[in-house]
Amino acid sequence: MLETIIIIVFVLGYLGIAFEHSLKIDKLIPALIMMAVMWGIISYFDMTVFEIDTKNKELIPYKLKSVMNYFLGHTAEILIFLIGAMTIVETIDFFNGFSTIKKLIKTKSKVRILWIICFLAFILSAIIDNLTATIVLITILQKLVQDRTLKLWYAGMIIVAANAGGAWSPIGDITTTMLWIGEKVSIVALIKYLIIPSLVCMIIPTYVASKYKIFQGEIVPPKSSEKENPYGSLILKIGLISIVFVPAFKIFTGLPPYVGMMLSLAVVATIAEFFNYKLISAESNSNIVHHSPVHHALTKIEMPSILFFLGILMAVGALEALGIVFGVGQWMVSTFENVDWVIFGGLDIVVFVLGFLSAAIDNVPLVAASMGMFGEAIDDPLWHGIAYAAGTGGSMIIIGSAAGVVAMGMEKIDFLWYLKKIAFLAFIGYIAGFLTFILLRDFVLV
């Protein structure tokens, strides 16, 4: 009975997020309310919470405070990483660094810009992860396109492309990183199995979108009064190198990514302070802000998005703590395990549905649950299928992925607008990529 109430609270909160514009309330409000109410009910009625025993594939009762601290710690890692990445991006923007990239995009063709942005998102997300790649590209997009509707379409396609790019890299998405660290996949096999399906997942929706009327014709470049900054190009290179350094730091130290991101932020901030001091000293340069670049960057951070992240991740954590996510996974396995349909086996159907679930529920607990439910050896195709489904399925709903949530905050994208305009494109990309994965697995990479 109480679990049903918890689920109802989650659904109502989800609807509040979806209809934020109709209700005239910011999405962070229902997210925080449902998070607090769900955990409040669990605590007040002393409901049993669990952790997943991945070895024995079972739930073990645990202390509420310890479980809450676990989910808060996991959420905080993501939020601190996000704050660090956004601050570095805003510091680069402080020196007008992104104008360098903007100059490289010489075409005014909307279709060509679409392909350029999507390929950049696909490649960058594999190198610096889909979340950071989305932040960087939307920042560039804001300086490149002034039409509000067109900008939303580009942002939506960035989400699809970034999630596709993150799926085939061990550091491109948090779920692939989990599978890699958990010794479920190796780097070479992950790339071998998923780079082509992920590429298909990006190319198909981009091709379809390129035929839409919104992408016909040329853009009208925004009028800009920004002056050339002598350190813009250099700070851009330093900033991007510092972000690329984060996954390398994680590989060498084994520490969570946020630690490397904080180190990168400290280095970029130090260099930025030095550059700004030199600009202030040069009296001939009038395009100077007489205060700390990093302080200025922190004032530009989207705090509503940070709080929204906190609410949604902790709310999903409550569902996982009660064993609901794990229970759904077990039900799926028991229901479809013995199904054999054309080229799909029972576990293929489970993995396929997992992609749709990851669009509605955070993919991190879903992958964590799957790691506890399946005992297949490292680099079994099942794990590569899970990496693809969890990484790309979240594109179908804007809050189904970290890239979607941060884009939603940066561009104020409406939940229902995304559902109407982008979800179908993400869906056909997901289907095409999944079918490609199955065909490669069964007929090419056997």
pLDDT digits (tens, 9 = 90+) for 151-160: 999 999 999 9
Burial 274-284, CB ≥16 within 10 A → b, else e: ebbeebeeeee
- Say which amino acid occupies 74: H
How many other CB atoms are found less than 10 A from the CB of residue 137?
27
pLDDT over 70 (residue 285)? no
Rounded to an integer, what distance in angstroms lies between the CA atom of residue 291 and that of residue 280? 9
Tally: H helices and E strands in the chain: 21, 4
Helix, strand, coil abundance in the chain, percent, nearest 5:
75, 5, 20
pLDDT score of 309: 83
What is the rounded average pLDDT of the residues 372-376?
71
Band (337; pLDDT cuts 50, 70, 90): low
3-state secondary structure of 42: helix
Residue 388 · residue 198 · CB < 8 Å: yes
pLDDT over 90 (residue 136)? no
pLDDT score of 334: 75
pLDDT score of 248: 84
> Which residue range is the domain that position 353 belongs to?
2-444
Percent share of the chain, pLDDT over 70: 91
pLDDT over 80 (residue 332)? no
Percent share of the chain, pLDDT over 90: 41
Band (103; pLDDT cuts 50, 70, 90): confident
Which residues contact residue 156 at a Cβ distance below 8 angstroms, ignoring those fewer than 6 apart? Answer: 398, 407, 413, 418, 421, 422, 425
The CA–CA distances, whole Å, from 250 to 48, 117, 193, 392 equal 35, 27, 24, 23
pLDDT over 80 (residue 377)? yes
Torsion-angle region of 134 (φ positive above 0: left; ψ -120 to 50: alpha; else: beta): alpha
- The DSSP symbol for 410 reads H
Band (33; pLDDT cuts 50, 70, 90): very high
Give per-residue pLDDT as tens, 293-330. Answer: 999 899 888 788 889 889 988 998 898 889 887 777 77
What's the N-to-C CA distance of the chain in angstroms?
A: 48
Residue 97 · residue 232 · CB < 8 Å: yes
Task: Tell me which residue of 32, 2, 84, 19 sits closest to 304, measured CA to CA.
Answer: 32
What is the rounded average pLDDT of the residues 203-217?
96
Torsions phi, psi for 45 (to 5 deg): -95, 10
Least confident range from 282-291, 386-395, 407-416, 437-446: namely 282-291
Helical ranges in 254-323 per DSSP H: 257-281, 293-299, 303-321
Band (109; pLDDT cuts 50, 70, 90): very high
Q: Taking the CA of residue 238 as centre, how many other CA atoms within 13 Å lie in the half-sphere pointing to its CB? A: 21
The partner residues of 115 in beta bridges, in order of sequence, read none
The partner residues of 53 in beta bridges, in order of sequence, read 58
Task: Tell me which residue of 159, 374, 427, 332 sits closest to 435, measured CA to CA.
Answer: 427
- Say which amino acid occupies 244: V
Rounded to an integer, what distance in angstroms lies between the CA atom of residue 18 and that of residue 414? 8
Band (345; pLDDT cuts 50, 70, 90): low
Give per-residue pLDDT as tens, 211-243. Answer: 999 999 998 777 665 667 888 889 989 998 998
Band (263; pLDDT cuts 50, 70, 90): very high
Burial tier of 211 (Cβ tally within 10 Å: 0-12, 13-18, 19+) = exposed
Give the number of domains in the chain: 1
What is the rounded average pLDDT of the residues 22-36?
90
**What are the tokens at 169?**
């890299």
